Amino acid sequence: VMGWSTSVVIPPDGDMGDYMASLDKLMARDDVRYHSAHGAAIEKPRQLVRGMIGHRRQREAQILRLLGEAARPVSDFIPAMYKGLDPRLIPAAEMSVTAHLIDLEKRGLARRNDAVWRVA
């Protein structure tokens, strides 16, 4: 957990399901402060983690909505989900969307045919 940014989950080593489970475990704790290796101490950890979970759920909902509209490759999600994104950050955004899609696939909510994703 970083106090200044969210983590980018990068497949195949990063797993969105594992990341979300870790955030749920953090929410179950009663820590009053986190000492992050990246940035200052986090004085309201539950509030931060709650926001991180909400952010990931919002991204998942966006992906499911876009999948419901049409089958598409990962690159087609980015303009709809990340308005005004610095072009240098597009690869990181694509990795994050891919991590979400793989998690949705594991849960039976999405499937892929080569590079094209669709609702399962």
Digit-coded pLDDT (tens) for 42-79: 999 999 999 999 999 999 999 999 999 999 999 999 99
Higher pLDDT, 110 or 3: 110
Please determine, for residue 4, whether its predicted confidence score (pLDDT) is greater than 80: no
> Whole-prediction pTM value?
0.91
Residue 1 CA to residue 116 CA, distance in Å, equals 32
**Fold entry, domain 16-119:** Arc Repressor Mutant, subunit A (1.10.10)
Q: What is the mean pLDDT of residues 10-33?
A: 96
Q: Which residues neighbour 87 within 8 Å (Cβ) at sequence distance 6 or greater?
A: none
* Angle value at C-alpha 27, between 51 and 39, nearest 5 degrees: 60
Question: In this predicted structure, what is the pLDDT of residue 95?
Answer: 97
Question: In this predicted structure, what is the pLDDT of residue 5?
Answer: 79
CB 8 within 8 A of CB 92: yes
Question: In this predicted structure, what is the pLDDT of residue 3?
Answer: 78
Question: In this predicted structure, what is the pLDDT of residue 6?
Answer: 81
The pLDDT confidence band at residue 38, using thresholds 50, 70 and 90, is confident
Residue 108 CA to residue 46 CA, distance in Å, equals 30
Question: In this predicted structure, what is the pLDDT of residue 29?
Answer: 96
Please determine, for residue 41, whether its predicted confidence score (pLDDT) is greater than 90: yes
Q: What is the mean pLDDT of residues 68-96?
A: 97
